[in-house]
Structure 1
C-alpha cells in the first residue's frame, strides 16, 4: 500500500535553497494540507539532510530531516535548548514561557517540574482510568451506529478533550469550547478556524480566552484540591517554592494543547489511508495487532510535524556546520519515514517491528502524556473494530491547514453495527 500523497516524485522537487520559487515552502500550511511535503523531505534526506531555510528579514532555521540527526537534536538538551522557543512562529523573539512552562524548560528544572506529572500519568495510573476512557469513546462513536454519514475525524478531535477533561477535572460543558480553542491555536491559518481579521488576531483571541479560562479554573482549584492534574501542578514545588498561578496556567495550556494534538489525528490518518483497502480488513481481523497497529498509525501520521530547538554552541550535523544561536527545526514526519531506519517507510504495516518512531519526541521532552494517548488509541480501535463492520467512505477527506500539526479535520464514513 502506497500513500497517494507520497508517490515517488518526478525529479527533484527542491533545489537546496528554500528561497527558490520552484521549491515548496515547508513553512506554508497549504503545503501540508494540499501539497506533498513528503516528496520534499525525501529529497532533502537524500541530498541535503541539514539544509538552510531562509524566511526573510534575517530570520531562518536549519531543517533536519534524517532520523539519526533528529534523535540527536531532541535528546541533547545541552547543545540544543528548548527554552528560547519550540515554534517557528516565534522566530526572532524568545518564548516568554521559557523556563516556566514544561515544554520550553530544560533540565534540571524540567526534570523537577515533570516528575509529579509523570507519576500521575504512569501506564499503571492511566490503565486504572480505562473504564472512564472507554465510556467516552463509546459515547463519541455512538452516532456511527445510526448508519448515516458520521464525521470520524470530527469525533476524534473531541476524543482527547473527553479524556484529558476528566484527568484535569474540567467541567464537561466546557469540552467542546476547549477543543475548538486548542485547534485554533495549532491551525490559525485554516479557513475553518481563522478569524476574518487574520492570523495574528486569531491567535490572540484564542490565547486570551484559554488563559483567562485556566486562570479562573486554577484559582478555584486552589480552594478545592483533588487528585486531578491541575491539583498535581498546584502541589508541585521547585526552587523551594510552589508554582505561581501564571506558571500553572501556562502549563495547563501546554498540557491541553499537547493532548489535543497527537491523539485525534493518528486514527484519522490511519482510517483515511486504509478505507477501501485489504489492509483495513486485515487489521479488523487481527485484534491482537491493535497495539502494533496503533504504533504504526502514530508513525504514519506523525501528528506533530516538527519540534524546534536552538543550538547553544557551534555543532556539526551530517557534515553541516551549525552556529551557536541558530534555530534548528526537526521535521518529525520526515524522520519517521527515513528509509535508513524504517524498511519500506511508505507502507502502512500493522506488523512493523521494531517501530522506533519519534511521534512523541525523544529525550527529556518525550511527551509526558504518551501513556494516556497510547491507551486511548488502543481502546478506540478495539471499540471501533469490535463493534462495527463494513467501513466505507461517505465524502471527501479534508486536511487541517497547519505546518505544526499533520491532521485530518473531516472524514465522513459509514459503518454497520456488528451482529
Structure 2
C-alpha cells in the first residue's frame, strides 16, 4: 500500500499543478484534454508531483526523460512485480512473478530468453512476406473511392500479425482484437459493457483466458514452431512454464502488440493528413526508418508504466519512501526538450532518437523488432499504393489512461498511377 496523504502533504503544499485539481488518472484527459500541455507544466517543477487518488493510495509522476530512464532501468529500486498499470493502484497484480510484464530479473530474464530469440530482428525479417500480405489486405479497401476508417484497419493489424505468429485461427482474430482493445480501453463507451468498467474487464479477461487455456491444451498435443509453442517449451528455474504462466504471457503478448503497433500510424494520419509532413514522408522513401521512430516517439502509444519503490530514494529533489507508487508517463518523457531538441516538432529525419515508446532496461518490449518491421512495411505500402490522402470526418480518440491512441480516423485516398519514387 502506498503512503497516506498526510505523509505527503508537506511535500506537495504550494504545488500549482496539484492545487489545480489535476487528475492524471482520468481517461478523459487523454481523449478530450491536452496532456502534452500538462506534461510541460509538470516538467517545469523542481520536484516530482504527487497525486492522491483515494484515502490510502497515490503516486509520484515521473515526466522527464532522465528520471523515466532511471526508474525503468533500476528494477531493484523500482519493482514491476506489484503491477504496472495505474488502474491497479493499491491492488497487487495477481500475475506478479508469473507474467513477463510483472516479473523482475533474474526470473524475468530467464523467462524471456527463448521468446526473445524467436523475435530477433533476423527472425522476424523472415516473416516479411507474410506481414506485407496481411497489411496489403487491410489497407487495400482505401483505394475503392469511399470513406475508409484508417484507425479501425490498424486496430486489426496487430491481431493479424501476432495471431499468425502465435498460430491463432484466423476466424478468431476479429473477436480477439476487440477483446484486447476492451482490456486497454474499458473506460471507452464504445467498448464498455452495460454493467460498467469492472464487469467489462472481468468478462473480457475471463473470455481471453478461457480461450487461451483451450488453445494451449490443443497446442501441447499438436506442437508447431509458432510463438505459443515457444512459450510451452520455455523452461526456467529448472522447469517448464505452468499452464497458468503460459496463458498469462499469451495475454501479455497480445496486449503489448495491440498497444504499440496501431497507434503511431494513427497519430501520423490523424495529425498530419493534408500537411507538408505527410507529403514529405510520402515523397521520400529514404526517411521511412527515421520517420517510423519519430512516429513512435510522437505517439508514445503506451501512456504509462507503474512501479513501486522498494526502498527510500531521492529523485528530482523529492524523497520517495519505500512502498510509494511511481508512475512514468512515457509521452511526457518523449517530449522532453533536454533529451530531444525541438521536442514539440515532428521531425521525419530526427537522429538520434532514443525514445522510450518501447520502454528501456530489462522490460524493453520483447516484440519491438516485430513492431518496427510491421510499421515500416505499413508506411512503405501505404505511400507506394496511395496518394492524395484527405480527412473525411472528425477523428475520435480512445478513452483510456493506459493507451494513447485513436479509434476512428475517416479518410479517403486515391490509387497511385505511378510508383512512390517516380
Give per-residue Cα distances to partners, 1:105-149, cap 9 Å, x unaligned: 000000111100100000000000000000000000011010110
1:117 corresponding residue in structure 2? 115
2:182 corresponding residue in structure 1? 184
1:86 corresponding residue in structure 2? 84
Alpha-carbon spacing, 1:215–1:38, altered in 2? closer, same or farther (3 Å): same
**Counterpart of 2:353 in 1: which secondary structure?**
coil
**Counterpart of 1:390 in 2: which secondary structure?**
strand
| 1:215 maps to which of 213, 216, 219 | 213
Contact (CA 8 Å) 1:49, 1:64: kept in 2 or not?
no
| 1:129 maps to which of 102, 127, 130 | 127
C-alpha separation in 2, matches of 1:154 and 1:117 = 29
CA drift of 1:92 comes to 1.2
C-alpha separation in 2, matches of 1:273 and 1:281 = 13
1:36 corresponding residue in structure 2? 34
Contact (CA 8 Å) 2:17, 2:42: kept in 1 or not?
no
Does 1:319 find its partner at 2:317?
A: yes
C-alpha separation in 2, matches of 1:15 and 1:285 = 51
Contact (CA 8 Å) 1:16, 1:48: kept in 2 or not?
no
Aligned length: 405
CA drift of 1:252 comes to 0.3
| 2:346 maps to which of 342, 345, 348 | 348
Alpha-carbon spacing, 1:23–1:15, altered in 2? closer, same or farther (3 Å): farther
C-alpha separation in 1, matches of 2:278 and 2:233 = 45
1:339 corresponding residue in structure 2? 337
- Unmatched segments (≥5 aa) in structure 1: 1-13
**Counterpart of 1:25 in 2: which secondary structure?**
coil
C-alpha separation in 1, matches of 2:185 and 2:16 = 26
Contact (CA 8 Å) 1:292, 1:352: kept in 2 or not?
yes
C-alpha separation in 2, matches of 1:378 and 1:115 = 25
C-alpha separation in 1, matches of 2:108 and 2:258 = 22
C-alpha separation in 2, matches of 1:410 and 1:156 = 10
**Counterpart of 2:404 in 1: which secondary structure?**
coil
Give per-residue Cα distances to partners, 1:293-336, cap 9 Å, x unaligned: 00000000000000011111111111111001111000000000
C-alpha separation in 2, matches of 1:213 and 1:142 = 30
Contact (CA 8 Å) 2:188, 2:399: kept in 1 or not?
yes
Contact (CA 8 Å) 1:400, 1:408: kept in 2 or not?
yes
CA RMSD across the alignment = 1.2
Alpha-carbon spacing, 1:49–1:41, altered in 2? closer, same or farther (3 Å): farther
- The two structures have a TM-score, normalised by structure 2, of 0.94
Q: How does 1:84-163 map to 2 (within 5 A)?
A: 84-163=82-161
C-alpha separation in 2, matches of 1:244 and 1:34 = 42
Q: How does 1:57-96 map to 2 (within 5 A)?
A: 57-96=55-94
1:255 corresponding residue in structure 2? 253
CA drift of 1:213 comes to 0.4
| 2:407 maps to which of 406, 409, 415 | 409
2:10 corresponding residue in structure 1? none
C-alpha separation in 2, matches of 1:39 and 1:388 = 34
**Counterpart of 1:189 in 2: which secondary structure?**
coil
Give per-residue Cα distances to partners, 1:74-95, cap 9 Å, x unaligned: 0001111100110112111211
Does 1:16 find its partner at 2:43?
A: no
Alpha-carbon spacing, 1:49–1:175, altered in 2? closer, same or farther (3 Å): farther
2:239 corresponding residue in structure 1? 241
Contact (CA 8 Å) 1:49, 1:66: kept in 2 or not?
no
Which stretches of structure 1, 4 residues or longer, exceed 6 Å deviation after superposition? Answer: none
Segment drifting more, 274-283 vs 293-302? 274-283
Alpha-carbon spacing, 1:85–1:142, altered in 2? closer, same or farther (3 Å): same
C-alpha separation in 1, matches of 2:213 and 2:330 = 32
C-alpha separation in 2, matches of 1:355 and 1:68 = 14
CA drift of 1:49 comes to 5.0
Contact (CA 8 Å) 1:18, 1:54: kept in 2 or not?
no
CA drift of 1:16 comes to 2.7
C-alpha separation in 1, matches of 2:17 and 2:323 = 20
Contact (CA 8 Å) 2:77, 2:309: kept in 1 or not?
yes
1:393 corresponding residue in structure 2? 391
2:52 corresponding residue in structure 1? 54
**Counterpart of 2:44 in 1: which secondary structure?**
helix
Give per-residue Cα distances to partners, 1:38-75, cap 9 Å, x unaligned: 11110110114521110012110110010000000000
CA drift of 1:346 comes to 1.3
CA drift of 1:24 comes to 3.2
Contact (CA 8 Å) 1:75, 1:362: kept in 2 or not?
yes
- Unmatched segments (≥5 aa) in structure 2: 1-12, 418-422
C-alpha separation in 2, matches of 1:275 and 1:129 = 30
